[in-house]
Amino acid sequence: MTEVDHTHAIDLESWFEPANRVKTDFPIQNLPLGMYRIAGSNDAFRACTAIGDHILDLAAVDAVYTENLNELAASGRTTWRQLRSDLSQALSDTSRRSQIERFLTPLDQVELGLPVLSRDFTDFFTSYFHAYNAGKLFRPDDPLTPNFKWMPIAYHGRASSIVLSGTAVRRPWGQIMTPDSSQPTFAPSRFVDFETELGFVIGPGTGFGDTVAIDQAEDHLLGVVLLNDWSARDIQAWEYQPLGPFLAKSFATTISPWIVTMEALAPFRVPAFKRFEGDPPPLPHLRSTANDRSGHVSINVEAHIKPALGSLQRLSRANYSSSYWNPAQLVAHHTSNGCPLNTGDLLGTGTISGPTDGEAGALLELGKMGQTPVVLEDGSTQTSLADGDVLTLRGGCEREGFRSIGFGEAAGAVMPAIPA
């Protein structure tokens, strides 16, 4: 696992003043990875980091990557640590200012791109509270499936519909079976929903037939993005049995442009989820002493909505550390049957929800599958996402004695369905 070092020091400051502002997501202690080009150009995307309200081209430290970050992701932890150290030194050493500042560009003058090329997307189901709350709606007497506490459940999603924050999302068509009908209709979804998630980005891949031990699992994780796995709940309700989600989720998955590295998250490690009394211990391939001690990460995640005719308002706030399964467990279990992972693949956490009503990470939970209108901060109500609504995810980490860092945002507007 990653360790705290000099790059995390709370008193470390940059000669670039915007990085030292209290409210920035991107102080020198963060240094996330992304891709950019000058807005309006047709240039190839180039690798960068975010610092304050600017980007810094990685060419400043002789790290040039174009199109995407897959090559860097595949290079492994030694290279990632060295790059972080080089960037930290370049942005803190005042003697290097004249050399480095020509590589800075204001964020409002650039276009950001997808940080990695993902060949596969696996979406897990890691939050006990989401699993219980959702299960209660459909199976009141037995909310949790018998396997939930034994392994990280997942489904294989579509990498082809992973889109960058800011991309508009079309309301999907699909088969819908209403309670009073004897056959489904093909129509636009009436219940478009969001899911507050994180996506772990695979670094070095694994070979066919290879397995990864839990204590080596994080060597295969470059970092984390915000992830919104858009869902059409009425389509999902009809199609998900017996094989699980399909068209109800494959129409769009929005991610943030910045990969917050596992190195940046080192100060925010916490113990693995404390299981409830009577729960079974994880099987051997999903447990180790090190993982028990600091296998989870404390990341606050928030969902905000801006209705078509309203202002931006917070819907929910939760913390990823409340999820039953943690990052290393996802990698270890995913590879336990020899399934290879590709560099750039995304492992979604599934909806992140906490134990209270305000910590539910989807309208499905917040409004109990549309039965209870969700009351917004301005007094208006919402049961599902309407055309023109903008849904924005935000995230960040904070801990006493360390500088807070942020993830930027993953946002998307719901657009009307394509006319029949």
Place of tokens 């579509």: 158
Cβ-in-10-Å burial (0-12, 13-18, 19+) of 12 comes to middle
Q: Which one-letter amino acid corresponds to residue 67?
A: E
Q: How far apart are the first and last CA of the chain?
A: 52
Catalytic status, residue 130: yes
Alpha carbon 267 to its chain centroid, in Å, reads 19
Closest alpha carbon to 283 in 169, 150, 376? 150
Catalytic residue among 130, 220, 296, 333: 130
d(CA 168, CA 249) in angstroms, rounded, equals 15
State the DSSP string of 318-350.
EEGGGSSS-HHHHHHHHTTT-----TT-EEE--
Closest alpha carbon to 295 in 268, 330, 313, 270? 270
Which tokens in the block code for residue 382?
């919402």
d(CA 402, CA 29) in angstroms, rounded, equals 9
Q: Check: CB of residue 288 under 8 Å from CB of residue 215.
A: yes
d(CA 316, CA 358) in angstroms, rounded, equals 5
d(CA 348, CA 92) in angstroms, rounded, equals 34
- For residue 85, what are the CA distances in angstroms to 89, 195, 264, 266? 6, 34, 11, 14
Q: Check: CB of residue 382 under 8 Å from CB of residue 193.
A: no
Q: Check: CB of residue 163 under 8 Å from CB of residue 369.
A: no
Strands 405-415 and 169-170: parallel
Contacts with 237 (C-beta within 8 Å, 6 or more apart), sequence order: 177
Q: Check: CB of residue 224 under 8 Å from CB of residue 259.
A: yes
Which residues belong to the active site? Answer: 130
